[in-house]
Amino acid sequence: MKAHILAGLLLVAGAGNAPAQDVGGKVVKYHATIDNVKYVYGVAEPVARLKPGDILDTNTLDCFGNALKKPGDTVSMAKGDNPLSGPFYIEGAEPGDTLAVKILDLQVDGDTGVGAFAPGFGALNETNYTPMLHRPLPEKIWFYPIDHTSNTATFKALDSDFSVKIPMHPFFGCIGVAPANGEARSSIVPAEFGGNMDSPEASVGNTVYFPVNVRGGLLYLGDGHAAMGDGEIAGTAVEVPLKARIQVNVIKNQKINWPRFENDEAIMTVGAYRPLDDCLRIAFTELVGWIHHDYGLSELDAYELLSKVAKIHLNEMVDPNYVVVASIEKKYLPPKKR
């Protein structure tokens, strides 16, 4: 996952035919602590600057700021939700470009994960958006022992002696850039700029593409997950700090509207909105456009093909916007346009 990947790293198919800027650069290191994290996506003083092709070695805190350590700890001990490492300034990135982030390596940075639900949050709980007359569910916290050798996290029931091992698949719950139009958005929000997408697709081997909205892009990372079920229905994954290695590149003069993922097997598009049907429409409209632009099918042919072979992934339905990822395997597509 490391040095042997660096030579031909960037997958630029998802954002157009223009080449990325320079590939191959230095390694930039940055260490995040609870004293230097951010809680919004927006314009802020960069913590580090990278050139296209540079590698970033950094870390992220868990969604509670690494505050919950033992039984008896409470969610109120967290300084805020989803602390973010960054922002990282990418030289040459300007509005109208696409930022490409290749995820090279993610390692769980610790021996315990955390899961929790709290009043006013969760798919099956009353929330500000879904008010109900019944009393909110009480706060509960679970601790997940991490076994790095077997690559598992262990669920231990609170109300019985049941336990089960869960395979780990580390990924960024939060990855995004500064929004457009001078906005600053909470670290719990997913939207056009990425953000709290809770997408298992933000994992090793995948490239994430973002629209560049401000000079330098201003990339943020955080909210590490060791494992998560579809929908993240109780409001958390197995929440963990991460050690991360990524590579950044800039695709000049190629504009996209929403985040995208790509690997050797598939192209994937993000929709983030409420209600869920509009979220899905965003993802599929973006996927139709990608196929038309890069692979040459007409929009109606792409629409018909997706109706037969597309996949959808409901990443989460607990945040201020829901997130769906729509995808198609490349084996179903014609050769990419040159």
* Domain boundary, last residue among 256, 286, 318: 256
Q: 92 and 53 in one domain?
A: yes
pLDDT value, residue 24: 61
Are 186 and 199 part of one and the same domain? yes
What is the reported pTM?
A: 0.92
pLDDT class of 20 with cuts at 50, 70, 90: very low
The contacts of residue 45 (CB under 8 Å, 6+ apart) are none
Domain count, the chain: 3
Average pLDDT value for residue range 80-103 = 98
Tokens 């800039």 locate to: 250
pLDDT at 59 over 80: yes
pLDDT at 320: 92
* Domain final residue pick, 205, 230, 256: 256
Q: Are strands 84-90 and 48-50 parallel, antiparallel or unpaired?
A: parallel
Q: Is 3 helix (H, G, I), strand (E, B) or coil?
A: helix
**So what's the pLDDT on residue 170?**
98
Look at residue 157 in the predicted model and tell me its pLDDT.
98
pLDDT digits (tens, 9 = 90+) for 280-300: 999 999 999 999 999 999 999
State whether 328 and 195 are in the same domain: no
Instruction: Judge whether 310 lies within some domain.
Output: yes
Tell me: the pLDDT tens digits for 204-248? 999 999 999 999 999 999 999 999 999 999 999 999 999 999 999
**96 close to 253: Cβ distance less than 8 angstroms:** yes
* 152-182 residue pLDDT tens: 999 999 999 999 999 999 999 999 999 999 9
DSSP for 132-196 reads -SSPPPPPEEEEEEEETTTTEEEEE-SSSS-EEEEE---EEEEEEEPPSTT--EETT-EETTEES
- When the pLDDT of each residue in the chain is averaged and rounded to a whole number, the result is 92
The enclosing domain of 54 has a CATH number of: 2.60.120.580
pLDDT computed for residue 338 by the predictor: 79
| CB contact at 8 A, 334 and 296 | yes
| Helices of type H across the chain | 276-295, 299-309
**Residue 199 located in a structural domain:** yes
Q: Is residue 96 part of a domain?
A: yes
276: confidence class by pLDDT, cuts 50, 70, 90: very high
Q: What is the pLDDT of residues 99-154, one digit of tens each?
A: 999 999 999 999 999 999 988 888 988 887 788 888 888 999 999 999 999 999 99
- Looking up tokens 């630029």 gives 12
* Residue 217 belongs to some domain of the structure: yes
The answer on 106 and 123 residing in a single domain is no
Q: Do 94 and 158 fall into the same domain? A: no
Is residue 285 domain-shared with residue 209, that is, in the same domain?
no
**Structural domain that includes position 301:** 262-332
Q: Do 88 and 208 belong together in one domain? A: yes
Cβ–Cβ under 8 Å, residues 10 and 249: yes
- Residues 178 and 274 reside in one and the same domain: no
pLDDT at 130: 83
Is residue 246 included in any domain, yes or no? yes
Give me the pLDDT at residue 22, please.
45
Among 306, 214, 209, smallest CA distance to 256 is for 209
At residue 1 the predicted structure's pLDDT band, cuts being 50, 70 and 90, is very low
Lowest mean pLDDT among 29-43, 107-121, 194-208, 247-261: 107-121
The alpha carbon torsion through 190, 77, 83, 145 (nearest 10 deg) reads -90
pLDDT at 11 over 50: no
Asked if residue 51 and residue 188 are part of one domain, the reply reads yes
pLDDT at position 127 is 81
Q: What tokens appear for 153 in the block?
A: 């996290």
HSE-CB of 52 using CA atoms within 13 angstroms: 18
